[in-house]
Structure 1
Amino acid sequence: MDGWPFWKRLYQRQINRDLDLWVTKGWVTQQNAEAIRRSLESEDGGSRLPLVLSLLGAALLGLAALSFVAANWAEMPKLLRLLILFVSLGAAYGAAIWLYLKKHTGFAEAALLLAALLFGANIMLIAQMYHLASDYTGGLFAWSLGALALAWAAKSRAVLAGSFVLLFIWTGTASLDAGISPHWTYIPAWAAATLLGFRLQWTPSYHLSLLSFFGWLLMGLEGFGNYHWDSGNLLFFGLAIALTVWLKGRLGGALGLRMGRVAEAYGAIVTGILLFALQLDALDFTSEMSWRLVLLAFGAFNVALLFFCVMRRAFTMTGLAGFGALLALTVLPAILTSGETNYLDMTTGMGGILYFAFAIWLIFLGTQSASRFLVNLGFTAFAAEAFYIYAETLGTLLDTALFFALGGILLIAGSWALNRWRKRMLAETGKGEAQ
């Protein structure tokens, strides 16, 4: 499998678990399973280290070129400046082509990454040379698109990773400095980078895609206030998106797509964070029609995803009941809101009950679907809620010393009990995999 040693080790662990399950079910013979394991172990994971170092070296070369040119920029004639810029860029492209022809793919990717960095340096320095408008956002946009076009042309994973970073810096500059929020122009470029990650079937790109998307959404929250959305509107809008990502990940996993598990993990984490936030403060809602239409549209789309998940047998009745409840909770404010302003106060204990139910459901969902991640996430959510309730209730009634002493005892006892329960559930998960 192509990739860096860290991702390779994760892949090997996953394939070992899958092979045990496939052998038990009779899909793969024990002899074939051992042959697959030997083929994975025979690949020299350490040989990837020079490639990683070459990528880091390319980045340092790009920074060195920038520093050298910037330090001597004023003394150079304009023609020499242009010559240095274009020759260095052409040399990087030439080196990449030569390395590809020699089948040194990893080092060719390092050369391409260097070319992408030099392309950005050329944009910035030429703009400075000809006293063009100091539009950093526009320069970053051109740099990002150039890097993305190069990633598509060369099918380069290293340049694709750089493109995700550059695109996120671009949208961050537009959102926070230029005040363009939400920065909708980012979405088509992000989608193009995500699509290339799908085509390359590169797992790190899935993480970069989802992290950058949720980061963009977080930076754009303030801008949604321009649509007269209040705190409650924003939270349930985010909850609808997180549930969509979770269901799409669940469906993708059922279809055998590698992206499925990654998307499900991020969707579950963000859903848990937003549900926890429900109990932190009373929420205000405005009955803005745009928000209600968006929320209902997401609700309809999630119902369709839920239907396809059922058709693909992506979860049991426990999963269906839980996702149905989450879907109902998500669209309920859009149905109930009326008048100018509405309030939702979950701080009086209802939010805690809801979150405990969510945590326990996650544990059972993970047990039934043989997902250790969901089991561990459920226990983490349960422990976080228990600690929050302790801090909010007993913390206000006890003095500092007694608060910490009792808290330490409860944490030790609670961690011991939770760990025993967690091990029991993980054991059940292992049995589910073996059946």
Structure 2
Amino acid sequence: MFDKTYRQRLEADLARWEADGVIAPASAASIRNALPPLPAGINIAVVVAIVGGLLIAAAFLAFVAAHWTEIARLLRFAILLAGMIVSGGLGAWFAARGRTVLADLCASIGAIVFGAGIALVGQMYHLGEDFAGGMLLWSIGAFAGALLTGSRGALAVGLVAASIWTCMRTTDTPDALHLPFVAVWLIAAATAFVWNSRVAAHLVATALLPWWIATSLRFEFDGAQQSFLLANGAALVFGAGLAIAATRSPRALVLGNVLSVYGAFALAAVACLEVTTADDILRIRTKTVPAQPIWAILCGVAGVVLALASAAITRRAGEVLAASAIGLVLLAAPLWPAAEAGEPWLAYAALLCAMLCLVVSGMLDDVRPRILAGWLGIAGVVTGITWAVKGSLLHRSVFLAAAGLVAVAFATALNRMLPRAAR
């Protein structure tokens, strides 16, 4: 989708430049010829075929489920095995004819049938009720199918199963970090890197959210502010994404850009959470001082260091501001005073400055998702400050007015310092 949009803009620019005499017609033709062909899109026929295949698969599963108790155990196992074989065979047939979307769909269905087979075989033979272990086995099988076929859908199934697995393990053993998921995630990230696939990179970035959320809600963190723990995770993802993209490898650029975008949006989200959860709008913590584990603090520090390292490599001022945004969001945790000590004006100021740095960073680097994340963060923080339950609304209005005046003064200074072309 993004390639098609870029081609349309490029074609319009080439036609305009050629009409204005900026480039010669031969140069425009050379540029067009140098571009690789666009990948085949999903037309209406493919969409209808996908819906039809899903309906047939659903009908088959419903029929088998309706007569499940009447079917012999060996025949049940044969049906499940046949489902995987047929989906794999159809996928190979579609792949040989260049129907990559349908081939990917078949591989995904095969991965889903494999998971259903694990559950049904366990039910038939009354195996131990280790649901988390079953999810791990399902994830391994889906990952194997993804590696063998290059299916993005199978990778998504594997990541979903792995996310359920880690959430269940975290609930069962809240006194220890579930680090095995990190190893699984690194394998998935390496797969996305090798594939050089933006879709796979999005899947890998999304899969981090369940682990961080489940980890932040672990029982031994009672008394800690969960939004601060999430902020450390967002900082690490944001900084790591910038550092990976700074290596200037085409494969690393795809993965790093996607991770940094998710990190920017996560940073904006946790900035809003810090306001809403630490000031009695949503009461989550039970102690007055938010304690953070050392490993989480180190993750946040690593995010700042990686962002600064990326800025040193790329020489981009926007990435320096991105590192500043990360640091300010993390700084809000120790700045937050106890509830009875008054309103946390310094923390409010740090979060507003962080989101402003995020917006300016995106503008300097011309990264629109980062700009959007910053604006959403500013809106959320201002809303949280305005509608906080405790404290004087008059004091909050004075604080917001002062913050607005500082922002206007800062804008005036920037307007005088920056060249006209860069404003």
- Aligned residues, how many? 382
Q: Distance in 1 between matches of 2:329 and 2:372?
A: 24
Q: Distance in 2 between matches of 1:215 and 1:391?
A: 29
Aligned partner of residue 353 in structure 2, secondary structure:
helix
The aligned counterpart of 1:231 is: 224
Task: In structure 2, give the amino acid aligned to 1:261.
Answer: N
The aligned counterpart of 1:131 is: 126
Aligned partner of residue 133 in structure 1, secondary structure:
coil
Q: Distance in 1 between matches of 2:180 and 2:234?
A: 21
Task: Specify which of 59, 69, 92 is matched with residue 64 of structure 1.
Answer: 59
Once the two structures are superposed, the pairs formed by residues 310-329 of structure 1 within 5 Å of their partners are 310-313=312-315, 315-316=316-317, 319-320=319-320, 323-324=323-324, 326-327=326-327
Q: Distance in 1 between matches of 2:295 and 2:174?
A: 26
Q: Distance in 1 between matches of 2:386 and 2:300?
A: 36
Task: In structure 2, give the amino acid aligned to 1:114.
Answer: I
Q: Distance in 2 between matches of 1:142 and 1:246?
A: 31
Q: Which moved more, 1:350-359 or 1:206-215?
A: 350-359
Alpha carbons of structure 1 residues 33 and 372: separation in structure 2 relative to 1, 3 Å = farther
Alpha carbons of structure 1 residues 78 and 132: separation in structure 2 relative to 1, 3 Å = same
Task: Specify which of 295, 298, 301 is matched with residue 299 of structure 1.
Answer: 301
Q: Distance in 2 between matches of 1:185 and 1:322?
A: 30
Aligned partner of residue 311 in structure 1, secondary structure:
helix
Alpha carbons of structure 1 residues 371 and 431: separation in structure 2 relative to 1, 3 Å = farther
Task: In structure 1, give the amino acid aligned to 2:60.
Answer: A
Tell whether the 8 Å contact from 1:285 to 1:343 is kept in structure 2 after alignment.
yes
The aligned counterpart of 1:406 is: none
Task: Determine whether 1:276 maps to 2:276.
Answer: no
Deviation at 1:293, TM superposition (A): 5.2
Task: In structure 1, give the amino acid aligned to 2:377.
Answer: A
Task: Determine whether 1:146 maps to 2:138.
Answer: no
The aligned counterpart of 2:375 is: 379
Q: Distance in 2 between matches of 1:163 and 1:231?
A: 32
Q: Distance in 2 between matches of 1:58 and 1:145?
A: 25
Alpha carbons of structure 1 residues 235 and 381: separation in structure 2 relative to 1, 3 Å = closer
Tell whether the 8 Å contact from 1:244 to 1:298 is kept in structure 2 after alignment.
yes
Task: Determine whether 1:162 maps to 2:157.
Answer: yes
Deviation at 1:187, TM superposition (A): 2.3
Deviation at 1:37, TM superposition (A): 7.7
Task: Determine whether 1:253 maps to 2:215.
Answer: no
Aligned partner of residue 70 in structure 2, secondary structure:
coil
Alpha carbons of structure 1 residues 71 and 322: separation in structure 2 relative to 1, 3 Å = closer
Deviations 1:181-210 (A, max 9, x none): 754332222222232222222212222222
Q: Distance in 1 between matches of 2:274 and 2:93?
A: 57
Which ranges of structure 2 fall in alignment gaps of 5 or more residues?
280-286, 395-403
Tell whether the 8 Å contact from 1:278 to 1:347 is kept in structure 2 after alignment.
no
Q: Which moved more, 1:84-93 or 1:204-213?
A: 84-93
Alpha carbons of structure 1 residues 39 and 205: separation in structure 2 relative to 1, 3 Å = closer
Deviation at 1:44, TM superposition (A): 6.0
Q: Distance in 2 between matches of 1:321 and 1:101?
A: 49
Deviations 1:242-289 (A, max 9, x none): 12211222233342511232222211122122223333426744767x
Aligned partner of residue 238 in structure 2, secondary structure:
helix
The aligned counterpart of 1:11 is: 3
Task: In structure 1, give the amino acid aligned to 2:314.
Answer: R
Deviation at 1:74, TM superposition (A): 1.6
Deviations 1:377-415 (A, max 9, x none): 3333333334444434999879xxxxxxxxxxxxxxx9x
Task: Determine whether 1:330 maps to 2:330.
Answer: yes
| Identical counterparts, % of pairs | 23
Tell whether the 8 Å contact from 1:168 to 1:216 is kept in structure 2 after alignment.
yes
Q: Distance in 1 between matches of 2:204 and 2:342?
A: 33
Deviation at 1:148, TM superposition (A): 0.9
Task: Specify which of 74, 77, 87 is matched with residue 92 of structure 1.
Answer: 87
Q: Distance in 2 between matches of 1:218 and 1:273?
A: 13
Q: Which moved more, 1:148-157 or 1:160-169?
A: 160-169
Tell whether the 8 Å contact from 1:112 to 1:159 is kept in structure 2 after alignment.
yes
Deviation at 1:129, TM superposition (A): 2.0
Q: Distance in 2 between matches of 1:346 and 1:164?
A: 44
Q: Distance in 2 between matches of 1:201 and 1:346?
A: 51
Task: In structure 1, give the amino acid aligned to 2:224.
Answer: S
Deviations 1:154-207 (A, max 9, x none): 112221122222322333444457879754332222222232222222212222
Alpha carbons of structure 1 residues 63 and 123: separation in structure 2 relative to 1, 3 Å = farther
Task: In structure 1, give the amino acid aligned to 2:380.
Answer: A
Task: Specify which of 243, 256, 260 is matched with residue 235 of structure 2.
Answer: 243
Task: In structure 1, give the amino acid aligned to 2:235.
Answer: L
Task: Specify which of 213, 219, 233 is matched with residue 218 of structure 1.
Answer: 213
Give the RMSD, CA atoms, in angstroms.
4.3
Tell whether the 8 Å contact from 2:242 to 2:310 is kept in structure 1 after alignment.
no
Aligned partner of residue 179 in structure 2, secondary structure:
coil
Deviation at 1:343, TM superposition (A): 4.7
Tell whether the 8 Å contact from 2:352 to 2:378 is kept in structure 1 after alignment.
yes
Q: Distance in 2 between matches of 1:322 and 1:114?
A: 41
The aligned counterpart of 1:410 is: none
Deviation at 1:332, TM superposition (A): 9.0
Alpha carbons of structure 1 residues 131 and 377: separation in structure 2 relative to 1, 3 Å = closer
Q: Distance in 1 between matches of 2:110 and 2:168?
A: 23
Alpha carbons of structure 1 residues 100 and 279: separation in structure 2 relative to 1, 3 Å = closer
The aligned counterpart of 1:401 is: none
Alpha carbons of structure 1 residues 18 and 343: separation in structure 2 relative to 1, 3 Å = farther
Task: In structure 1, give the amino acid aligned to 2:230.
Answer: G
The aligned counterpart of 2:111 is: 116
